[in-house]
Structure 1
Amino acid sequence: MQRTIISALVAVFVLCTASCKKFLDEKSMTKLDERQVYSDLDLVETSLKGIYANWKAVRTDEQGLIMMMGTDETQQGAFQMKSDPNKGGLDRYDANLNATLNHIANQWNIRWPLVNEAAKIVRGLSRQDVTPGTREAKLLGEASFVRGFIDFQLAMYWGEIPIRDLDREAELGLRRQPLKDVWAFIIEDLQRAAEHCPKTNDPGRATSGAAWAMLGKAYMAAPESTGLRDFAKAAECFEKMMGDYSLVPYKDLWDYNKPNTAEAILEFQFSPVYPNNNKLQFQLGSRAVQAYFGDGCYYSGYDKIVPTRYAYSSVDSGGVWEAGDLRREESIRYDFTYYGETPTLDPITWEDLGNDHDELLPHVKKYEDFRTDKHTDNKINNMWNSGKNIPVLRLGDIKLCYAECLNEMDRGADAVNVVNEVRARAWGGVLPADKQWTAMSREAFRTAVMDERIRELFAEDWRRIDLIRTGKYLELVKARNKWTAQSGSIQAFHTRLPIPDTEMKLNGDITPADQNPGYQ
């Protein structure tokens, strides 16, 4: 009974907090001595499971798409831009992208409870000797992984962030810390995770392979100013884990009958049955399809984000896709014909979007879930019920990261070979001679691999981070995002998001003077 009560209180705590300050200052709701809580590994396990449950919720519904808006890969649908001008600032990069934008505040707020709860586990288990291979070590490794992963995202999106090392709380307070310290802390967390996470684990939970993969990404992404960016170390991390996974046919990655394939390093686990549905597809589907066929068509929806023209077009039309690449049809829906009938825009002409109608232009396809279609035996309506697993880390991504490292280490020939391994899968296992990459300059490879990452990882939530870490954010978003180009407002400071106004009001250690430059 005590464990049940504690579990419920932990869940309430995580879900009900409303700002970083509140998250970071909150006292234990269990009113038990901390040593008592963290000496009971069953209680630690319960807390960790709650963290995982709320972490995967970050990738659900509209909030799971916010960080994919405003890139060169995906942008908001036209009606969404018209109906919500404030959120439209995420693509226009105009004055609506500011510290009061609730969508940004939510992205900040949904992550900090997870960091704080993970920090409690790390401190609680670190206060005793931890023997590698024990249950304590496993839980310590997983909590370190979650904190390291989420801090990685927070630092990429906002720059300097608070460091939640609870043993140094009096010293650090709730202030934003220097980038070098932040990234050193992220790397330390992921190193501990690589040392202690188990090689295999339950689906949806961290492994040593996931930890090595993220540690490698951290060494690649750490700002050069920190002195911590190290492509050789990143390559070593990837080499420690890649052999434990293998590429599978690309279509298998999006087949709900084949979850957690041999390529999966970490997937968030979902199903089309409430409350484990992810709600993504109805946000991603077509409003024209919804208006024409109703909610029961599994690819109807709201057009919350759609591919940019560059991301859906062929090379000969100024886009990214090459003839014969199987990833194109798996990633993007071009044909909206449904049981022999093709929808039109007639039911939604009231939107008055002029030439901006995009409801029947290409859409994101990867998360479509036919189990929610009205023609299946499940009788589960599409509205919010999609439930495919969501990939977080997979081998195709890591191989391309590894190739980038090799290129930066003057091993261009090896880098090309690794990319060709990924591309061979994209052509069904045998890469045509004219599609094989050959020797190129370091700079040419940098450009080419960014396109390859669109083809391989389209709409998998890595593009914003890729653009930031490579310094290509301003250039490519301005050139390829329709709304950004129309607005003409994007500036270099937009690479970072504004610290939410609510945070500055509630956290005495983060004031308007600490706001990221360029924002008011």
Structure 2
Amino acid sequence: MKTIITNKFLILLLGLLVLGSCDEFLEEDLRDQITPDAFFTNDKEAELAVNGVYRLYHDNNLYRQRGLDNYYTSGADIQAANRDVNGSIHNYLIQEGTADGNGTWIQLYRVVNNTTEFIFNIENNENLSQEVIDHRLGELLFLRALAYFHLTNLWGDVPFYTEPLPVLERSVLGRHPKAEIRSAMKADLARAFDLLPGSYSGNDLGRATKWAAATLKAKYHLFDREWAEAKAECDIVIDQSPHRLLDNYADVFDQSDPSAQYNDEHIFVVDFEADYGGPLNTTRTDDYNPRIRDEPFNRNGDTLINGQTYQRVDYFQNQVLRPRNEDMTGYGWSVPLPEFALRENWQEGDLRYDATIVTEYLGWKLSFPYFRKNWNLDQENSLRGNHPENFIVFRLADVYLMAAEAENEMNGPGNAYAYVNKVRERAFEPDQPWSGMSQEQFREAMYEERKFELSAEGHRRMDLIRWGILLERVKSVQHRAWNNPGANIQPYHVLLPIPQQQLELNPNLLESDPTNNGYR
């Protein structure tokens, strides 16, 4: 395991020292529990604290299950469940107290609480070596900036602090302007870039590098339409980092070998590992894996094999899958929408289709399409509820596409082609580079290019929001019979309401906006 304590005793110890069990917003006051003198007396203790913050990101409400996926992938134009579940979110039936993201809010503020407290405990701590101070501060600044990135994406203006506050003070904070939060986080990420190393090896793989900080900073700038700054950060990663685009698109997502889950295209991942129990393993893979109760197509019908009649599902499961140590034990909560699953809706020659979409398996037609890039049917290394697959948060192809978009917005497509064509060079055989577009044509083509390159990776809904086309896409794309988000979506759905539970705990959250992002 990387970035996480893999010894069960240390996991328990870290949970007691760092995480606490508070379920309410801003209630946990770590200053009452941990002080520089009482805790950070040596370099190892500082490392344990930072490991604990990484572990916070392994929660079901963030990256382990469908926490962030609920609001970054559902309710867009690529994916939804294969049956009538998760409808409150995908169908925009969100209200205060209904699918309002309360668990995600709580967990992100746990990250903010702990990173802020530990920065205070580590900075200028005479018990620690300067090398450890710099390294751990860089990680904490990145991890806090990632939390505020999600908070401001989902709720806009939110409570904000970067210095330790007593619990009573934190519990009455009002909302702070999103622009000021993001400005502060960009400054923190610039500092993190200077403090963080450029690479890791061995058990440290998965920690934040300076390239992860630069990529997150580029994201902030891109979302804020600061094109020059976004392009500059992307160029730093492209030109100076050791990361490279893999030759084969499918290899980017190949985590079939749990001991070789990293590759040169991954910039930052949330690292999961099986057999250590939650939250160190992930259940997100189950959302992308099929249910055998759904598959194969006409599962209860008969099939004739070598002159003998079998029920299709029995033969498929027992004679086709299991000899390969495979099975379909997932939930089917996240499958491609019909239009995205059709090959004819992809550009001719796009090699990413077969690496992304599967509509038949080993010669057997399936009832639903699935995301091949995110499934794992392996029953030896990736069991239901106990998967090791890492969540790829940032990868280099995204950086190239961000650079292309930023360059086009600044100067038109002339110098932007090189960035997008670098990604498309891998995607097509023969190569199909872009050329001869106007700035507007390039912009609109990028809407589609990011969809096909980055599908089911947690980017799509925020891309549609920042482009101002979420409502248009949701209303125009084909959904399945049990979903009808186009009938419900409203302009204010680009943000979530401040969760009802948080409003009950802290009425000051309504002070700057009594409408609660338009939900009242």
Classify the TM-score, shorter chain. 0.7 to 0.9
The structural deviation recorded for 1:399 is 0.5
Deviates more, 1:142-151 or 1:250-259: 250-259
The structural deviation recorded for 1:308 is 1.9
Counterpart CA distance in 2 for 1:122 and 1:162 is 18
Q: What letter corresponds to residue 500 of structure 1 in structure 2? A: P
Q: Are the aligned partners of 1:270 and 1:277 in contact in 2 as well (CA < 8 Å)?
A: yes
Q: What letter corresponds to residue 253 of structure 1 in structure 2? A: V
Is 1:112 the counterpart of 2:109 in the alignment? yes
Is 1:328 the counterpart of 2:353 in the alignment? yes
Question: What is the aligned partner in structure 2 of residue 348 from structure 1?
Answer: none
Is 1:436 the counterpart of 2:433 in the alignment? yes
The 5-angstrom pairing of residues 282-431 of structure 1 reads 282-287=286-291, 288-289=294-295, 292=313, 293=317, 297-314=326-343, 316=344, 319=345, 321-337=346-362, 360-372=367-379, 378=380, 382-427=383-428, 431=430
Question: What is the aligned partner in structure 2 of residue 197 from structure 1?
Answer: 196
The structural deviation recorded for 1:218 is 0.6
Is 1:462 the counterpart of 2:459 in the alignment? yes
Question: What is the aligned partner in structure 2 of residue 83 from structure 1?
Answer: none
Counterpart CA distance in 1 for 2:171 and 2:485 is 43
Change (3 A) 1:203 1:515: farther
Q: Are the aligned partners of 1:400 and 1:453 in contact in 2 as well (CA < 8 Å)?
A: yes
Change (3 A) 1:168 1:301: closer
| TM-score normalised by length of structure 1 | 0.82
Counterpart CA distance in 1 for 2:245 and 2:161 is 36
Counterpart CA distance in 2 for 1:298 and 1:396 is 31
The structural deviation recorded for 1:254 is 1.7
Change (3 A) 1:299 1:514: farther
Is 1:449 the counterpart of 2:452 in the alignment? no
Q: What letter corresponds to residue 158 of structure 2 in structure 1? A: I
Deviates more, 1:293-302 or 1:388-397: 293-302
Question: What is the aligned partner in structure 1 of residue 479 from structure 2?
Answer: 482
Question: What is the aligned partner in structure 1 of residue 282 from structure 2?
Answer: 278
Deviates more, 1:53-62 or 1:486-495: 53-62
Gaps of 5+ in 2: 1-8, 300-312
Deviation by residue 1:419-453 (Cα, 9 ceiling, x = unmatched) = 111011112xx643xx2211312221111112111
Counterpart CA distance in 2 for 1:137 and 1:29 is 25
Q: Are the aligned partners of 1:311 and 1:454 in contact in 2 as well (CA < 8 Å)?
A: no
Deviates more, 1:389-398 or 1:289-298: 289-298
Q: Please give the secondary structure, in 1, of the residue aligned with 2:39.
A: helix
Q: Are the aligned partners of 2:65 and 2:282 in contact in 1 as well (CA < 8 Å)?
A: yes
Gaps of 5+ in 1: 81-86, 223-228, 344-359, 373-377
Pick aligned residue for 1:233 from 229, 239, 259 = 229
Q: Are the aligned partners of 1:3 and 1:43 in contact in 2 as well (CA < 8 Å)?
A: no
Q: Are the aligned partners of 1:75 and 1:305 in contact in 2 as well (CA < 8 Å)?
A: yes
Q: Are the aligned partners of 2:116 and 2:164 in contact in 1 as well (CA < 8 Å)?
A: no
Q: What letter corresponds to residue 230 of structure 2 in structure 1? A: A
Q: Are the aligned partners of 2:503 and 2:509 in contact in 1 as well (CA < 8 Å)?
A: yes
Q: Are the aligned partners of 2:100 and 2:500 in contact in 1 as well (CA < 8 Å)?
A: no
Is 1:247 the counterpart of 2:245 in the alignment? yes
Deviates more, 1:391-400 or 1:56-65: 56-65
Pick aligned residue for 1:61 from 56, 65, 72 = 65
Deviation by residue 1:234-293 (Cα, 9 ceiling, x = unmatched) = 111111121321110212112223421111111222234342431222222223038844
Is 1:519 the counterpart of 2:519 in the alignment? yes
Is 1:215 the counterpart of 2:217 in the alignment? yes
Is 1:71 the counterpart of 2:76 in the alignment? yes
Deviation by residue 1:334-387 (Cα, 9 ceiling, x = unmatched) = 1145xx6556xxxxxxxxxxxxxxxx2211222222432xxxxx3x67422332
Q: Please give the secondary structure, in 1, of the residue aligned with 2:368.
A: coil
The structural deviation recorded for 1:28 is 3.6
Q: Are the aligned partners of 2:358 and 2:370 in contact in 1 as well (CA < 8 Å)?
A: yes
Q: What letter corresponds to residue 354 of structure 2 in structure 1? A: E
Question: What is the aligned partner in structure 1 of residue 149 from structure 2?
Answer: 152
Q: Are the aligned partners of 2:100 and 2:499 in contact in 1 as well (CA < 8 Å)?
A: no
Counterpart CA distance in 1 for 2:460 and 2:253 is 19
The structural deviation recorded for 1:7 is 2.4
Counterpart CA distance in 1 for 2:508 and 2:40 is 29
Q: Please give the secondary structure, in 1, of the residue aligned with 2:360.
A: coil
Pick aligned residue for 2:121 from 120, 124, 132 = 124
The structural deviation recorded for 1:465 is 1.8
Q: Please give the secondary structure, in 1, of the residue aligned with 2:447.
A: helix
Deviates more, 1:60-69 or 1:245-254: 60-69
Change (3 A) 1:443 1:277: same
Counterpart CA distance in 1 for 2:382 and 2:57 is 26
Question: What is the aligned partner in structure 2 of residue 225 from structure 1?
Answer: none
| TM-score normalised by length of structure 2 | 0.82
Identity of aligned residues (%): 25
CA root-mean-square deviation: 3.0
Q: Are the aligned partners of 1:17 and 1:113 in contact in 2 as well (CA < 8 Å)?
A: no
Pick aligned residue for 1:165 from 148, 162, 165 = 162
Counterpart CA distance in 2 for 1:328 and 1:420 is 18
Question: What is the aligned partner in structure 1 of residue 306 from structure 2?
Answer: none
Counterpart CA distance in 2 for 1:3 and 1:278 is 20
Q: Please give the secondary structure, in 1, of the residue aligned with 2:335.
A: strand
Deviates more, 1:490-499 or 1:478-487: 478-487
Question: What is the aligned partner in structure 2 of residue 354 from structure 1?
Answer: none
Counterpart CA distance in 1 for 2:236 and 2:17 is 35
Change (3 A) 1:331 1:19: farther
Q: Are the aligned partners of 1:231 and 1:405 in contact in 2 as well (CA < 8 Å)?
A: yes
Question: What is the aligned partner in structure 2 of residue 84 from structure 1?
Answer: none
The structural deviation recorded for 1:164 is 2.5
Change (3 A) 1:133 1:469: farther
